[in-house]
Structure 1
Amino acid sequence: MTSFSIGDTDFLRDGQPHQVISGALHYFRVHPDQWQDRIRKARLMGLNTIETYVAWNAHEPRRGEWDATGWNDLGRFLDLVHAEGLDAIVRPGPYICAEWHNGGLPNWLTAGERSLRSSDPEFLVDISAYLRRVYEIVAPRQVDRGGPVVLVQIENEYGAYGSDKAYLEALVTLTKDAGITVPLTTVDQPVDQMLEDGSLPALHKTGSFGSRTTERLATLRAHQPTGPLMCSEFWDGWFDWWGGVHHTTEVDAAAADLDAMLSAGASVNIYMFHGGTNFGLTNGANHKGRYLPIVTSYDYDAPLDEAGNPTAKFFAFRDVIAKYAPVPEELPTAASPSPTLTVPLTPVGAWTDAPAADAATETPRTFDALAHLSALARYDVALPPTEGPGLLSLEEVRDLAWVQVDGQPIGTLSRTRHDRTLRIPAGRTLSILVEDQGRVNYDHRLGEEKGLLGTPTLDGILLTGWHSTPLDVAEIARTLAARTDAAEAGSGPSAWIGDIPLDAPSDLFLDTTAWSKGYAFVNGFFLGRYWRNGPQRTLFVPAPATRAGNNRLVVLELENLLAPHAELVAGLLLGDTEE
């Protein structure tokens, strides 16, 4: 069996110095039928290792309902990495950040008052059960047992969050007790305090950065005086948020920084090699004074684009890697052209008007109180008699609300805009449709409740007797997919269906420019969110989600379609850049 260890200056593979040249590829952001293609392309770029996070909330969205099959089949993913002749790095968290909703922590774990990412006994009980399940998959696939896994990371950029050494020690004990024998690492930004707080003497410290390589490796070396230097997150791009721009990095500059890394003898994990997609409702959000939800695309301006096709950065990085390691002569084949066509859409009626199912409560119930994992909830309350308009005030809306009085749209309230008040006319019933736009994935806002917080007031008078109705958008889309009868497209949320004719399964690019805001599905596959707020303009449809013949498209629009059709275009449209 192969050995992998940490020497005085290098990683040692069977006792010989070894430079890790890795790329991040998250199995949960790529259709399982396309894992092998992406892994193979990593090898063709010259990588010798694949790194992945493990997303706890993908595996266990509800307490006790553990799933390691299909999209969550981490074992199969690692086996495919091994079959391609590559090593693997596993980063199980339990916190991962990753611009993934709630930083990878399940909603049930973060709900309520509890101390997260700490040595709190209650928290340790839950993460112990999680890590044992992950390590049941990882342990038999370690390199010293004939598998691909060479490194396992403890926590993730913990120095940016806390300094609870007892917590880190508990994670190490859990990991070793579960049979993990490969070297254990931590990662933090090259800031003295973060590197000090985020690790233990027995763990190998690595850095996360995307530029100023020489300077940052020197900072890392000051905190990790022996062993190999490693940048475990070499940021070669960046993520996007709704209302922003599409972020890109200059190819030559990124290649030069990679060159500096490898020429210094440092190991590297390129974050990302292939970003993939925040399919469904899996996007996270940032909040550093202003709430900014992440878009559906996780293209990241990576060497492989969102659809898995090589970019200029792929070939520039490949040229750099070839200076330091063997690179296969073979190049990836060009992608087949994607079909371009216009598909008419038929309205099939309103879709957010499900009858209230619960008894009235004094205050609105949050998504968390409802144990609701989908994107929407509707809140209805009887209005007191009044002769004229009144001022509706909310404690906080998380994250975007559409307000109606007696079925008539009045306006919106946005967390991003810091909205709290709206003048509404007299009426009988107030309805507020609230969207969870993505849970914050960073810092101390993990686990924030979603929905309407507190008790709304009208001209200072408490509004009580609320009906809180959770709306499962995926289930609604499944029900509507079978509809054949048309309905009138009224104002407000409306559902639309259409059929995409294909000669064979194919990657598709669904242009959402003529739509406003909502969710799209193909053959029941949840593509994700769209929003005219941009920058993203296309939703990526992976070929395995399609079939020869008609492919049923369901669009759940929250506002209005500018044109009742769907456009399939030739490639990704990810929005304007800063250049």
Structure 2
Amino acid sequence: MPDFRIGEADFLLDGEPVRILSGSLHYFRVHPDDWADRIGKARLMGLNTIETYVPWNAHSPRRGEFRTDGMLDLARFLRLVGEAGMHAIVRPGPFICAEWDRGGLPTWLFADPEVGVRRHEKRFLEMVEEYLDAVLAVVAPLQVDRGGPVVLVQVENEYGAFGDDRAYLEAVADIIRRAGITVPLVTVDQPVDEMLAAGGLDGVLRTASFGSRSAERLRTLRAHQSTGPLMCMEFWDGWFDQWGSHHHTTSVEQAAEELDTLLAAGASVNVYMFHGGTSFGLTSGANDKGTYRPTITSYDYDAPLDEAGDPTPKYVAFRDVIARHSPVPDELPAPRTPAPELSAALGEPVPLLADPDAWGTATEHDGPPTLDELDGSPKLAVYVADLAGPDAPVVLSVGEVRDRAAVFLDGDPVGVLEREHHAHALVLPRGRGRLTLVVEDQGGVNYGPRIGETKGLIGPVRLSHPGGAEEVRGWSVRALDLDALPSLWDRTDVRGAGPGPTAWRATFDAQASERHFLHTSGWGKGIAWVNGFCLGRYWRRGPQQTLFVPGPVVREGRNELVVLELDVMADPVARFVAAAVLGPLEP
């Protein structure tokens, strides 16, 4: 079997120097039937390796469970990499960041506030070992020394930006080794002295993450590691977008020049991202550096291969750079072709507030529970309480809203409390009647000290008026089962548009496996499904204006679109356009 190891200056494959030319491709952000296409296009750009994170929370939504079905079939993905004649790098965390919900850490992990997340604490390490044993049972048989493609496995992820618990890192590395990983281990940190020192381990190859000043940053990396190959584990060729901001792009010419500098120095590289794909469902994360900013659904990342898997000018430029340093195949991928353009009227609206029983089962609580305290930690829930205050205006306040709460009184909209705007209070026209709060988790923070924070309503809900203040008690809370929402029409006869969240549906005809781009102009804020597959969130706030519909989701003939509108559906028409519209660029 092949032997892959770390030499004095190079990676060695069967004793011969080899350079890793890798690209990031997250299997969990790409439909499985598109995996082979994306991997093949990486090979045609001149890459010889595919890198992927592993999201703990997706594989293990409940402790003791480890899912490998559908988009989580890591073994199938790695086998496809091997069948393409390429190597693989696996980065299982346990923390991955990746603009992914909570950085990949599962909600149940934080149920006990005493658990020491990302540090050497007994209960946390027990859960980490359960997870790593499960994921590495998939990876270990696919290592290069057993005939598979995997050549490197990463320990944690950019830990130097979070902490300096060396004992914790050593424990994670030991767990990985005990799980049967025999290929070399690596760490990654930004090329800052403090981070490289805090996040590295003796005997484990340090790698760096950066997207500019390549020569300078390789020198910093070398200062912390006198021998071994130099590698940029994340060569940032683009960036992610956040709701309410612009669409980020990077200069093709500058990115290509930096890649050339890196390769001319003899370094190995992992292009982050080669193909970003899409955070389907409600899996996007968020950042909070004083202001909460949720990440959009598209993870296009301005990568060489765009969200739909088409080559971009950056693909051509990177291929040309790689060709100066390594052989590339003669074949080029097919150019982009337009997607079908069509429209379909949305109809049969089902309003949530008119028949809430059809949307889920309610539970009773004295005070408002957090979303994390509800079964399944839902992303969306409806909180109802009957107020018996004065028949005069009152102030409704919540300790903190994470992340958005639409407020209704007797079915009429009153306003929205948004975390991003630091809003936690508004005026109700009266202090009596039925209070309804539609509470949404817009994505768990994936970087920094707020990782793992509780979602939903934090602290008491109060009514304040000239006569005093009182806490609102006696709550009926209904977690919305979004997986079941496309079948809502089988559970209710109520129809008609109304205030509050409303489900709509439409049918459209298509050819099998044709990708589409759903344009959401004229809509407010919500979620869309095609044939039961959740495309993710849309929001008029932008910058993203289209949702990508993978070709494998589309059937021959009749297809069904379902939309959950949380705000206002100004134009109930579904429009499919020829290409992605990801919004205005940075000025």
TM range (shorter): over 0.9
Under a length normalisation based on structure 2, what TM-score does the superposition of the two structures give? Answer: 0.96
Look up the match of 1:560: 568
Alignment of 1:171-320 (within 5 A): 171-320=172-321
Deviations 1:109-128 (A, max 9, x none): 12330210111000111110
Counterpart residue identity of residue 463, structure 2: L
> C-alpha separation between the residues in 2 aligned to 1:210 and 1:490?
48
Pair 1:362-2:370 in alignment: no
Contact 1:210 1:236 in 2 (8 A): yes
| Higher mean displacement: 429-438 or 366-375 | 366-375
Look up the match of 2:123: 122
Counterpart residue identity of residue 130, structure 1: Y
Counterpart residue identity of residue 361, structure 1: H
> C-alpha separation between the residues in 1 aligned to 2:361 and 2:573?
34
Look up the match of 1:475: 484
**417, 426, 429: which one pairs with 1:425?**
429
Contact 1:351 1:476 in 2 (8 A): no
Deviations 1:12-67 (A, max 9, x none): 11111111110000000000000000000000000000000011111111112211
Alignment of 1:69-80 (within 5 A): 69-80=69-80
Look up the match of 2:328: 327
Under a length normalisation based on structure 1, what TM-score does the superposition of the two structures give? Answer: 0.98
Contact 2:408 2:414 in 1 (8 A): yes
**470, 494, 499: which one pairs with 1:491?**
499
> C-alpha separation between the residues in 1 aligned to 2:405 and 2:106?
24
Look up the match of 1:47: 47
Deviations 1:491-547 (A, max 9, x none): 222211100111333000000011100010000000000000000000000011011
Contact 2:191 2:209 in 1 (8 A): yes
SS in 2 for 1:552: strand
Contact 1:351 1:556 in 2 (8 A): no
> C-alpha separation between the residues in 2 aligned to 1:320 and 1:308?
20
Counterpart residue identity of residue 538, structure 1: T
User: 1:385, CA displacement in angstroms?
Assistant: 2.8
Look up the match of 1:539: 547
Deviations 1:258-293 (A, max 9, x none): 000000000000000000000001000000110000
CA separation of 1:387 and 1:337: change in aligned 2, threshold 3 A: closer
| Higher mean displacement: 556-565 or 28-37 | 556-565
How many residues align? The count is 578
> C-alpha separation between the residues in 2 aligned to 1:260 and 1:503?
45
Structure 1: any 5+ residue segments left out of the alignment?
A: none
User: 1:335, CA displacement in angstroms?
Assistant: 4.0
Look up the match of 1:33: 33
Counterpart residue identity of residue 390, structure 1: V
Pair 1:437-2:442 in alignment: yes
Look up the match of 1:68: 68
Pair 1:465-2:466 in alignment: no
Look up the match of 1:402: 406
> C-alpha separation between the residues in 1 aligned to 2:447 and 2:5?
32
Pair 1:108-2:108 in alignment: yes
Pair 1:56-2:56 in alignment: yes
> C-alpha separation between the residues in 2 aligned to 1:543 and 1:447?
34
User: 1:379, CA displacement in angstroms?
Assistant: 1.1
Contact 2:188 2:199 in 1 (8 A): yes
SS in 1 for 2:505: strand
**521, 535, 549: which one pairs with 2:529?**
521
Alignment of 1:349-388 (within 5 A): 349-351=350-352, 353-355=355-357, 357-358=361-362, 360-388=364-392
SS in 1 for 2:420: coil
Counterpart residue identity of residue 530, structure 2: V
User: 1:483, CA displacement in angstroms?
Assistant: 8.6
What is the root-mean-square deviation in Å for CA atoms of aligned residues?
1.4
Deviations 1:229-284 (A, max 9, x none): 10000000000010001000000000000000000000000000000000001000
SS in 1 for 2:217: helix
SS in 2 for 1:394: strand
> C-alpha separation between the residues in 2 aligned to 1:357 and 1:544?
33
Look up the match of 1:502: 510
> C-alpha separation between the residues in 1 aligned to 2:242 and 2:93?
24
> C-alpha separation between the residues in 2 aligned to 1:550 and 1:373?
34
> C-alpha separation between the residues in 2 aligned to 1:399 and 1:296?
16
Contact 1:22 1:51 in 2 (8 A): yes
User: 1:209, CA displacement in angstroms?
Assistant: 0.5
